[in-house]
Each structure stands twice: as structure tokens, then as C-alpha cells.
Structure 1
Amino acid sequence: MGSFEKADGARVINVSSYGHQMSPFDFEDPNFENREYHTLAGYGQSKTASNLFAAALDEKAKNSMSEPIPFTGSWCTELIWDGKNR
């Protein structure tokens, strides 16, 4: 935390999405080594992990680096189609 403590008013920006609602973070198998990989589950887990990191960092910084960020919208990409049924 040294650099953040030295920087007056430091902020960390975590860009995420509603994707965290697709999957919780599986601490027992984060790399899908013991279960079948599904694109949206992997994406959702990565967004959940990102949000958990941001919350832990904010807690460690004693809630001094957090600002509410509005939802910026959705994008329809090939990821949601899983490369199949379009």
C-alpha cells in the first residue's frame, strides 16, 4: 500500500460489469481444472474476482479509495454467443 499511502487522493479504478452475476468465484477450483469450462462461467468468475479484489483493496485502504461508479451500458459481443448459437 506504500505508493497509495504516499499519493494524496489515490484511486484505483475497477472496470467491471454485471457479468459477476453469471458465476460466483470458485476458490476450490479457480482455473477450471476439475470441472468443465464454460465461457460465460469463466467470464462471470473473472468479474466476481475483480469485484472481490476491489472490495478487499478498499477495505485494506480503510474505505478511502472507493467511489460509486454508474453502470455504463452493455455491449453485445461474440462472448455472449459462446461462438455457437447466434
Structure 2
Amino acid sequence: MESRSAGRTYRRLSRMSARNETPHKVIQMLGQKTCNGSWEEASENLTMDQVKEIAEDQKDRLTGADLYARCREVMGTCVSMRVHVEGMTPKDALQ
């Protein structure tokens, strides 16, 4: 859908675009509808292979120059979503 405002054309974002974003891909990989949101009670866990798969799928949307940088971006999303990576917090898994 497009709308014109003050001589400029703007494309409205559809709800479908959110399904291509990294948080949605993380939730899909977990096989859940929502994440807990608490580190203490977090049961969500991704493996590094799953993180790499998300990074490859999101290659054109992430700004990282290589796979390692894109994986770090995905793991940053996991921090926000309170999802563990390999049983650790993503910050610990990066070290």
C-alpha cells in the first residue's frame, strides 16, 4: 500500500514485514509463541548452530560484515528477549 503526503510517496509497512525480523526468527527457532522475559525463570535455549542458521537467514537484514558479526547481532537480540544460548546468557556465550 502506498499513500501520498505532501508530494512524497510513502510505503506503509504491512504486518507481514515483522515476520522477517530477527526476534520473530528466534521465536520460530524456539518453537514457542512468546518468551518468558526473566533470566531466572528462562527456559528458552538456542544452540550456536541455530544462531548461525538465523544469522544466515537474516544475512540481507543484518549489518554484520561476516558470519561472526551477524551471530553477535542475533545474540544481542537474544539478550533483549531473555533467551539463553548454549545454556548461558548470550553475553557469557560470546566470550
Pairwise same-fold verdict (TM > 0.5):
no
TM-score of the superposition, structure 1-length normalised?
Answer: 0.32
Higher relative contact order (CA 8 A, sep 6+): 1
Greater helix share, structure number = 2
Greater strand share, structure number = 2
